[in-house]
Structure 1
Amino acid sequence: MRRSLILMGLTGMLPIVVLGSAYGAVTLREQRAALDRQAALTSRSTARLIGREITATIDAVKMISRSPSLDGGIDRPRFTVLGMRLMEDHPDWATLSIADSQGNRILDLPTPIGGTLGKVVDPVSLARAVRTRLPQVGHVIRGPGGVTAFAVRAPVLHDRGVPYVVSAVVPVRAMQRLLNGEEIPPNWRLRLFDRRGAVIAQAGSIENDAVQSSVTAVPETGWQMEVAVPRGSFAALTRQTRMVLIGGGVVALAVFAALTYALMIELRRFRQRQAATLQAQRLEALGRLTGGVAHDLNNLLTPILGGLDLLRNRVGTDPKALRYIDSATTSAERARSLVARLLAYAKRQALTPEAIDVAAMLADLQELLQRSVGPTIRCTLHAAPGLPPVRADRNQLELAVLNLVINARDAIKTGERISGSIVVQTRAPRPEEVRGLPRGDYLALAVSDDGCGMDAATLRRAMEPFFTTKAGDRGTGLGLSMVHGFAEQSAGRLVLESAPGQGTTATLILPATDAPAPMPDAPRDRPTRTAEILLVDDDPAVREAAAEVLRAHGHQVTEAESLGQGMRALADAPETALVITDYMMPGGTGGEFISRARAGGSRQPFLLLTGYTDAAEDLPQDVPQLRKPFRERELIDAVDALLG
């Protein structure tokens, strides 16, 4: 086996080495050509830049030479004003001068060159301008003031000849500034030569063993632009090619050695992904199952809770009967809570989001939270100032905080320990806590304890439904999964941080909102109005329980079990003050029933009873909903609100 692996490795290295050698040779040739192209391109672009600068100067000098102030003679005041304005626009000019055709300087602006007027410094370019009657660029010459410069000359053309020549004296530092502004690789050199081969300006540095240079003419001036590339650049390419060949062999060996390890890692990850996919499918199936059975469970619980409420009102003060009713009601409420937690985990619960001032909400909950954890555990609240409200369902958020605090209490009371501390804190979220969430503002609500903490394996499974580390019947394993589902459904997330012996921090990340938190409703008196109510529900137990509750509060109730019966009952009793309807029933949905009734002229308010978790898409927006199972007080409050 070992021999086969060695042979396979050597066989794999041979084509790599051959291909690496070919690649190195081709790469060297291409990079040398690229260096040549880069040098030529730099030379041409710099030559064009200098040419544009010289052309702009020539155009400006030509414009001055055609000034009316030079017609028939020199209008010195007028020319001085024009020349000084033009020199302000060309700060690189040292002097603006007028000379006659013999080279005698007549006027120098702003001051005479060398202190006094005299002969031009470069008579050759002046004579060439007079002879050709065209603008000329002179040689680079050191002037009387010690400044190295060149002149750009333009003849003043008259019918009788060239009486004057206008010259702009430009120091070579202007050209030096242009070269310094060019970006070139390290150790390259730029040089600008005039017609005589004298260096006008230079940028960069290079050793004397340059092996490649690119020269471009500057046609506007007769100058030449040279770019020189040092020998070391090509030597570096050779070294890089050798490194590629050596590195290729080393990498080939390393790749071969890593293949087996990578394959093992990939196989392990594949098994983990398979397990994660299977778990996700199981959880998704649980969510679908939960949503599917929720309607039936809610319909079963509705008459149970309604009947118990009616019995409580009729048994009087019999303590034994009241104890039985309380026990049954507690069990029914636990079943109702269990269904709600399953729906929260499956993210199929009906939420009513609103703006919530979290600090005010926690202040209202403080007494309940402290009572829930007991006197031996200190529960403190910290709210950072200036935090915005969050958008969430208030009841579910309060339940989520309560669940997290109770979990923290149970973590503290593990083993023999009975005391500890819990901190509930609101703050701005950390960047890693909101990474991956939609863009926007968020608020973090963290519950921290100093309990036993969780190891990595427990932390990974902490949000799974029915997973719990609590002994006996102390927990259902739905607390964290419910909070997780609520956070996901509210466009946020739940973040858990824990380590054995270091406690646990559970952080709810919820979206912030600019809307102000609503003011608490003022207490209102119970309305005394009774009315005729039409109740439509296909489940006899639910219909009977709801009808008995309504009759017990003085309302007259007409019952129907289908859409058709409901339409006929509404037509027979147009004075009906309120219609309560189920969503799914024979003949159509509650939304269809409401739409058909309103189309027929009914103006009564409607209340929808539903045990389904999905939103009713065909329900008008102004129709309130009451989720099953509901208690007597919830139904009566909803009816009073619509009749009030």
Structure 2
Amino acid sequence: MILRRSLILMGLTGLLPIVVLGSAYGAVTLREQRAALDRQAALASRSTARLVGREIAATMDAVKMISRSPSLDAGIDRARFTMLGLRLMDDHRNWTALSIADSAGNRILDLPEPIGGSLGKVVDPVSLARAVRTREAQIGHVVRGPGGGVAFAVRAPVLQRGAVPYVVSAVIPVQAMQHLLFAEEIPADWRLRLFDKRGAVIAQSGAATGDAVQSVVTAVPEAGWHVEVAVPRGSFAAVTRQTRFVLIGGGVVALALFAALGFALMLELRRFRQRQAATLQAQRLEALGRLTGGVAHDLNNLLTPILGGLDLLRSRIGEDSKALRYIDSATSSAERARSLVARLLAYAKRQALTPEAIDVPAMLADLQELLQRSVGPTIRCTIHTTPDQPAVRADRNQLELAVLNLVINARDAIQTGGRISGTIRVDVRQPRHEDVRGLPRGEYLALAVHDDGCGMDAATLRRAMEPFFTTKAGDRGTGLGLSMVHGFAEQSAGRLVLESAPGQGTSATLILPTTEAPAPARDAAGDRPTRTAEILLVDDDPAVREAAAEVLRAHGHLVAEAESLSQGMAALHGAPGTALVITDYMMPGGTGGEFITRARDAGLPQPFLLLTGYTDTAEDLPGDVPQLRKPFRERELLDAVDALLV
């Protein structure tokens, strides 16, 4: 309610100056538009008057030139005058006749032929008499000639010894002046007219309306004519309408803008609240991730001696089947705990990954039998790949586990609601553009798992990757499968994309970066020789150190133990025959990375193997140091040692 009142008050406050400014703008605009119309009318009138004046002046000059022709000096040399006159008429296409009359108004010669069919009196004797009297060229009135045409004459007296025996006249029809008016562009509803001295209309353009509000008149001094531009009332009314439209339109636009602003503000506030909620949720998840990572790290340290001890017991128990059964049961439980910790670390993005180039189609071919066994005989699991797919850069073990998790989730979605059969399809393809939007620039590969199961609604889809969220009944799920895959994808510089709808199945797509490096050949563990050596083991956890040392001693290695960085350095300097150093990352006095750096700076040549629960803070660890994740089995530790002793 408070927000609504604030928006209304803001709108009213914003509209008040708009109304005031709009009114002022309307008044100023109306005045400016009227002044602009006046200027346009005056400009059109003056421009047309200049055109008409230049045309009349040019005609008068031509007629004067004829009146001074030598063919008129001693009487009228008809042949010469006719030749001259016809040539001039060719140059002045708007002349209909060229005539010579005496001072009494009798036509003596008409070119190209007698006007009206025969010679006679001039039609406009007034202008002729004025030319005789003033001895200057004159513009005649607009009159109807003997042939029926409406025209005017341009007359020039022939002067001989102070007398005017003849008057030369060029007859011009009024239509010849029409093009001068059309040369001036005026609005369609304006009117442009040309008048002679007596007010007769010579030419006209534009609308012939009598509803003129304002007329602008400009004289044509060369002929004594004048030009009139009439602006109709509608032009000023149109200006008023335009101004009114601008004001009303501006008000409407202002209201619309304020409405849009208010709506945008409400949306932004809603988004702010959503972002705030999302930030709080992210902070809660981050805190949970930190807690999960810390707990998982401690659990790894606890599980390491358990698994190591169980492996030692198995090798020493002999043929006691009951004891072996107990050991197998304990080992199975420890392995389940190990898997759960791995999922927690994957969710927390704190698992230690060993990325390598992976040929995904080859990996899926190796997994196909396991995947089919995992979903059962009633569900068909198929793999579709295309040739020449690039390798991806990821941790192979975690990628295999992620694919297995996605397939098992697909199996559970199919079996929901009592179904026992269905189809799961694993596709390897190029990702869509929207799949990689927001990821770092580079090439990616998509590994998609599709099922035709029950699907998820929008609310379930939004929470599907949250840790411990599950829709499975009873103890069928921990809620860590998708969150583990999501964490693995994010930690591998990719992402997990989920698409689902109720009744339409689910598609879970892993987007992973590709690499141009070739996929490494996988060696069998039994192919490497086993040799004994002097080994330094540095770990601050006595249980982990003791379990690892016992495993190594049981296989013939000589093991020296240390619990801190300083003890490890001292042991290395005191035992130059040490062939291998196994060190934890977190220890008193420094980190495993610092330990390795100091040893190498001191010129010590021994290789290092890092034991780690998680290494998200191992920025100081050299890139060439192999890692063994806790908890590890006896065979895993021995394989890692053998690889470094070869």
Is the TM-score greater than 0.5?
A: yes
- What pairs up with 1:398-547 in 2 under 5 angstroms? 398-521=400-523, 525-547=527-549
Give the match for residue 294 of structure 2: 292
CA contact (8 A) 2:612 2:630 kept: yes
- What pairs up with 1:579-598 in 2 under 5 angstroms? 579-598=581-600
* SS of equivalent to 1:471: coil
Structure 2 gap segments, 5+ residues each: 37-182, 191-234
Distance in 2, matches of 1:234 and 1:380, equals 80
Give the match for residue 20 of structure 1: 22
Give the match for residue 377 of structure 1: 379
Q: For the structure 1 residues 315 and 433, does the alpha-carbon distance in structure 2 shift closer, same or farther, using more than 3 Å as the test? A: same
CA contact (8 A) 1:536 1:580 kept: yes
Q: For the structure 1 residues 206 and 271, does the alpha-carbon distance in structure 2 shift closer, same or farther, using more than 3 Å as the test? A: farther
Distance in 2, matches of 1:569 and 1:346, equals 36
Give the match for residue 341 of structure 1: 343
Q: What is the one-letter code of the residue matched to 2:310?
A: L
CA contact (8 A) 1:17 1:248 kept: no
CA contact (8 A) 1:355 1:515 kept: yes
Matched, 1:249 2:248: no
Per the TM alignment, residue 308 of structure 1 is displaced from its structure 2 partner at its CA by: 1.0
Per the TM alignment, residue 545 of structure 1 is displaced from its structure 2 partner at its CA by: 0.3
Distance in 2, matches of 1:235 and 1:507, equals 68
Matched, 1:603 2:609: no
Q: For the structure 1 residues 26 and 323, does the alpha-carbon distance in structure 2 shift closer, same or farther, using more than 3 Å as the test? A: farther
Could you say which structure has the larger radius of gyration?
2
The CA RMSD over aligned residues, in Å, is 3.6
Q: For the structure 1 residues 464 and 571, does the alpha-carbon distance in structure 2 shift closer, same or farther, using more than 3 Å as the test? A: same
Q: For the structure 1 residues 498 and 575, does the alpha-carbon distance in structure 2 shift closer, same or farther, using more than 3 Å as the test? A: same
Structure 1 gap segments, 5+ residues each: 35-204, 212-232
1:640 to 618, 639, 642: 642
Per the TM alignment, residue 385 of structure 1 is displaced from its structure 2 partner at its CA by: 3.1
Q: For the structure 1 residues 439 and 308, does the alpha-carbon distance in structure 2 shift closer, same or farther, using more than 3 Å as the test? A: same
Give the match for residue 275 of structure 2: 273
CA contact (8 A) 2:7 2:262 kept: no
Distance in 2, matches of 1:330 and 1:460, equals 34
- What pairs up with 1:87-486 in 2 under 5 angstroms? 209=187, 243-254=245-256, 265=267, 268-486=270-488
Per the TM alignment, residue 261 of structure 1 is displaced from its structure 2 partner at its CA by: 6.2
TM norm structure 2: 0.63
CA contact (8 A) 1:305 1:629 kept: yes
* SS of equivalent to 2:17: helix
Distance in 2, matches of 1:454 and 1:422, equals 16
Distance in 2, matches of 1:410 and 1:619, equals 41
Per the TM alignment, residue 354 of structure 1 is displaced from its structure 2 partner at its CA by: 1.7
Distance in 2, matches of 1:620 and 1:259, equals 55
Per the TM alignment, residue 519 of structure 1 is displaced from its structure 2 partner at its CA by: 3.0
CA contact (8 A) 2:357 2:394 kept: yes
* SS of equivalent to 2:510: strand
CA contact (8 A) 2:414 2:452 kept: yes
Q: For the structure 1 residues 394 and 528, does the alpha-carbon distance in structure 2 shift closer, same or farther, using more than 3 Å as the test? A: closer
* SS of equivalent to 1:326: helix
Per the TM alignment, residue 621 of structure 1 is displaced from its structure 2 partner at its CA by: 3.6
Per the TM alignment, residue 291 of structure 1 is displaced from its structure 2 partner at its CA by: 2.8
Per the TM alignment, residue 246 of structure 1 is displaced from its structure 2 partner at its CA by: 2.4
Q: For the structure 1 residues 374 and 248, does the alpha-carbon distance in structure 2 shift closer, same or farther, using more than 3 Å as the test? A: same
Give the match for residue 208 of structure 2: none
Q: What is the one-letter code of the residue matched to 2:21?
A: L
Give the match for residue 107 of structure 1: none
Distance in 2, matches of 1:32 and 1:636, equals 100
CA contact (8 A) 2:351 2:613 kept: no
Q: For the structure 1 residues 257 and 633, does the alpha-carbon distance in structure 2 shift closer, same or farther, using more than 3 Å as the test? A: same
CA contact (8 A) 1:403 1:479 kept: yes
Per the TM alignment, residue 374 of structure 1 is displaced from its structure 2 partner at its CA by: 0.5
* SS of equivalent to 1:415: helix
CA contact (8 A) 2:496 2:508 kept: yes
* SS of equivalent to 1:608: strand
Q: For the structure 1 residues 524 and 328, does the alpha-carbon distance in structure 2 shift closer, same or farther, using more than 3 Å as the test? A: closer
Q: For the structure 1 residues 573 and 416, does the alpha-carbon distance in structure 2 shift closer, same or farther, using more than 3 Å as the test? A: same
Question: Per-residue displacement from partner, 1:176-196 (whole Å, max 9, x unpaired)?
Answer: xxxxxxxxxxxxxxxxxxxxx
Per the TM alignment, residue 512 of structure 1 is displaced from its structure 2 partner at its CA by: 1.9
Give the match for residue 629 of structure 2: 627
Per the TM alignment, residue 247 of structure 1 is displaced from its structure 2 partner at its CA by: 2.8
Q: For the structure 1 residues 283 and 16, does the alpha-carbon distance in structure 2 shift closer, same or farther, using more than 3 Å as the test? A: same
Q: What is the one-letter code of the residue matched to 1:321?
A: A
Q: For the structure 1 residues 352 and 248, does the alpha-carbon distance in structure 2 shift closer, same or farther, using more than 3 Å as the test? A: same
Q: For the structure 1 residues 16 and 640, does the alpha-carbon distance in structure 2 shift closer, same or farther, using more than 3 Å as the test? A: same
CA contact (8 A) 2:426 2:449 kept: yes
Give the match for residue 617 of structure 1: 619
CA contact (8 A) 1:295 1:613 kept: no
| More divergent stretch after superposition (284-293 vs 6-15) | 6-15
Q: What is the one-letter code of the residue matched to 2:384?
A: H
Q: What is the one-letter code of the residue matched to 1:539?
A: D
Distance in 1, matches of 2:361 and 2:524, equals 20
Distance in 2, matches of 1:607 and 1:453, equals 45
Question: Per-residue displacement from partner, 1:378-422 (whole Å, max 9, x unpaired)?
Answer: 111111333222222111111111111111000001021111111
Give the match for residue 210 of structure 2: none
Q: What is the one-letter code of the residue matched to 2:493?
A: A
Per the TM alignment, residue 255 of structure 1 is displaced from its structure 2 partner at its CA by: 5.6
* SS of equivalent to 1:404: helix
Q: What is the one-letter code of the residue matched to 2:596?
A: I
Give the match for residue 175 of structure 1: none
Question: Per-residue displacement from partner, 1:47-99 (whole Å, max 9, x unpaired)?
Answer: xxxxxxxxxxxxxxxxxxxxxxxxxxxxxxxxxxxxxxxxxxxxxxxxxxxxx
* SS of equivalent to 2:418: coil
| More divergent stretch after superposition (582-591 vs 266-275) | 266-275
Per the TM alignment, residue 272 of structure 1 is displaced from its structure 2 partner at its CA by: 2.7
* SS of equivalent to 2:416: coil
Q: For the structure 1 residues 385 and 606, does the alpha-carbon distance in structure 2 shift closer, same or farther, using more than 3 Å as the test? A: closer
Distance in 2, matches of 1:31 and 1:490, equals 69
Q: What is the one-letter code of the residue matched to 1:627?
A: R
Q: For the structure 1 residues 11 and 630, does the alpha-carbon distance in structure 2 shift closer, same or farther, using more than 3 Å as the test? A: closer
Per the TM alignment, residue 329 of structure 1 is displaced from its structure 2 partner at its CA by: 1.5
Q: For the structure 1 residues 17 and 406, does the alpha-carbon distance in structure 2 shift closer, same or farther, using more than 3 Å as the test? A: same
Per the TM alignment, residue 26 of structure 1 is displaced from its structure 2 partner at its CA by: 7.3
- What pairs up with 1:539-558 in 2 under 5 angstroms? 539-558=541-560
CA contact (8 A) 1:376 1:418 kept: yes
Distance in 1, matches of 2:245 and 2:184, equals 26
Give the match for residue 141 of structure 1: none
CA contact (8 A) 1:392 1:510 kept: yes
TM norm structure 1: 0.64
Q: For the structure 1 residues 26 and 640, does the alpha-carbon distance in structure 2 shift closer, same or farther, using more than 3 Å as the test? A: farther
CA contact (8 A) 1:354 1:393 kept: yes
Per the TM alignment, residue 254 of structure 1 is displaced from its structure 2 partner at its CA by: 4.5
Distance in 2, matches of 1:27 and 1:330, equals 90
